[in-house]
Amino acid sequence: MAVVGGVTIRPWEGRDREHVQALLKLLSQDALVRSEDAPTFVAERDGRVVGMVTLCVFRTLTGPKAYLDHLVVARDWRRRGIGRALMQYAIEHAGAADASRIDLTANAEKQAGHALYRSLGFQERDTASFRLNLTEPTAAKRREDIEPGNGAA
């Protein structure tokens, strides 16, 4: 837990679910809280969750790395340093886990986010981002197509 400018940053808890869900909706109307144990941190002010970030640390053959997701601050609380405080907390958390880097994706339209990331030392990479949605109805068909014994490599 950390306190920055009157805002407490802490791991999220079940009691935060409604506020976290509302924040996720600011990112995508389709977003739903589906995991109770996600590595998510919230920014709380006067008993109200006003921002959040998810930081996933995982191990690879070359060592621990981190992926940052769901950075969002409630509209009425933006431009007050909450996003920066959440990011700094996530950076410290990743460092404590010996992660060698933090990766994230950022919508091209969110220029304030881009400026924040650059100010914290993040560098834009010249790489494509790919996604395979495993929850779509066609995902089951794709999995059937790649099962052993069907001729697929």
Q: Give the pLDDT score at 91.
A: 97
Residue 152 amino acid letter? A
pTM above 0.85, yes or no: no
Q: How far is the C-alpha of 44 from the C-alpha of 4, rounded, in Å?
A: 10
Q: When comparing pLDDT for 149 and 24, which is higher?
A: 24
83's tokens: 């996003």
Q: What digits encode the pLDDT tens for the residues 99-152?
A: 999 999 988 888 889 999 999 999 999 888 888 989 877 655 655 666 666 555
- The whole-number pLDDT of residue 33 equals 86
The model's pLDDT over 63-105, given as tens digits with 9 standing for 90+, comes to 999 999 999 999 999 999 999 999 999 999 999 999 999 999 9
CATH architecture for residues 2-146 = 3-Layer(aba) Sandwich (3.40)
What is the rounded CA–CA span in Å between residue 57 and residue 153?
30
Q: Tokens 């495993």 map to which residue?
A: 134
Q: Looking at residue 127, what is its pLDDT? A: 86
Q: For the beta carbon of residue 86, count every other beta carbon within 10 angstroms.
A: 28
Q: What is the pLDDT of residue 141?
A: 60
